[in-house]
Amino acid sequence: MGPAPTLVPPPHSYLQIYEYLLSRGADPTLLTDDFDPYLDPGRKTPADVAHAAGGTRAALAALDAKHAAIPKSRQPHRDVGDWWALYDYGAETVAAWPASFDPPYPEAATRARETAARRARRAARRAAAGAGDEGCSVAAVAAPAPARPAATNPAAPPPPLALATLSLDPLLRFTPAPGVAFLFPGQGAQAVGMLASSTHLPAVRAMLAAACDVLGYDLAALIAAGPQAKLDDTAVAQPALYVAGLAALERLRAEDPSLASSPAAMAGLSLGEYAALTAAGALAFEDGLRLVAARGAAMAEAAATPPPHGMLSIVGLDDAEVDAAVVAGRAAGGVCAVANRLFPGGRVLAGHAPALAAAGAAATAAGALKVARLPVAGGFHTELMAPAAAALRAALGKVVFKNPAVPVWSNVLGAPFPDATSIPALLEAQLTSPVLWQETLAGLVAAGSSGGATAARLVELGPGGQIRAMVKRVDAAAWAGMKSVAP
């Protein structure tokens, strides 16, 4: 046999290749990264790269028009040909990544930790130079967590990450265990020193350093030293408890990583709903911090609007008797409504002061075991919070929500949020709607029990133990097996 013939491409073969790609769904509007950054900067379309002379651009445009009706394939991820990405995650996984997906590469996590450490050092220098209230006491001792090795062939794209932008464990993903539910407490659980068991954890220090930047004051110092009266201020208590709930999760992660990664569902009482959404990956940590700060400030302002209003706890009456007390309260004038359905026989009313006084008298006459005003600033979860709901709506409009990695139960529905798009409206509605906490707890216990096949395991994440006390009145078996983790 003679030598192999030399293959000479026919004229305009590149146009044939271009047409073939178009016929397979290639999108000619996608921009290429193959450009000269100095002489000819900027990403370009294939037509932009082609020479105008000789009619090449016109030929490309004609082919674009010819195949315009063919459905276009999605843009591949930028790392579809990256060897290390293919090695770590697998070709099929990388091919399925959306173009906008940001993979949790270990080197990216390292850069994020280094950035956080630099920010902490700058904050420490400002504090040392006499920044006063502008500095963060925790920043001087903030330290990055050790790096973790990359996972082999994770799902694509991976589920939302706990603590989102601030997670110091970027490869964390949930492996739901039947019956395990995480519960986060709400306002009223705050206490000076409540982070004493978790401030040594790098992730908690990172959260507190971020809180200083976002809030503009030293939340760590307020939590550590008080005074309690300042910590009880609605505008401060809400960011403090948001951080405390997530700090408790970090403590659980350090002490029992298997349990920390196993929730099948989450829920939070009022404010605690924001911690649950963040822990489930639906909300970035710093976005959640901004939301609870805006929420707390708006609720404090609404609470200060005259005439005076507040909340009243009633224990030991059935719902018909509570409803009768509400009617008596409204007859006295002003707003009076059920704000929290906490457990069987445990209800909280909210409304104007004279209405609550009348409702309390009616409840006492009906034989209530306990009637007491709550130490909160206003009539939360009623129409009295409508101005706060409007202010919160503006803050919610600036935040991107994702579908949570596990179901998060809504206070308004007493059932899981349907999807990410439903979250903003339900968070807004929560301010003026009763909290269906009894229904939430009962639903979680029922879902976790799986018809008796497994026992529900509830984990309270936060200070105070208020949720565990409520669970005891909803389901004694679930209470007996419940775990409470203080931050």
Catalytic residue IDs? 270, 381
Strand pairing of 346-352 and 336-343? antiparallel
CA distance 485 to 465: 9
**Both structure tokens of 430:** 């929560």
Closest C-alpha among 186, 299, 188 to residue 245 = 186
Bond prior to 157 in cis (omega within 30° of 0): yes
Q: Between the CA of residue 228 and those of 81, 189, 213, what are the distances in Å?
A: 57, 12, 22
CB neighbourhood size of 3 (10 A): 5
The full length of the chain comes to: 487
Residue 177, classified by CB atoms within 10 Å of its CB into exposed (0-12), middle (13-18) or buried (19+), is middle
Helix (H) or strand (E) holding 429: helix 423-430
Helix (H) or strand (E) holding 84: helix 83-89
For residue 356, the SS3 value is helix
For residue 269, the SS3 value is coil
Closest C-alpha among 216, 222, 234, 219 to residue 292 = 234
Closest C-alpha among 144, 294, 124, 148 to residue 206 = 144
Name residue, tokens 């999760």.
Answer: 249
CA 143 to chain centre: 23
**Both structure tokens of 1:** 């046999």
Contact present, 402 and 433 (Cβ < 8 Å): no
Query: In sequence order, what are the beta bridge partners of 182?
Result: 266, 459
CA distance 468 to 54: 78
Using the 8-state DSSP alphabet, how is residue 166 labeled? G
CA distance 3 to 464: 86
Name residue, tokens 């979860």.
Answer: 381
Strand pairing of 457-461 and 180-184? parallel
Strand pairing of 309-315 and 370-373? antiparallel
CA distance 145 to 257: 15
Residue 27 makes CB contacts below 8 A (sequence gap 6+) with: 72, 73, 75
For residue 458, the SS3 value is strand
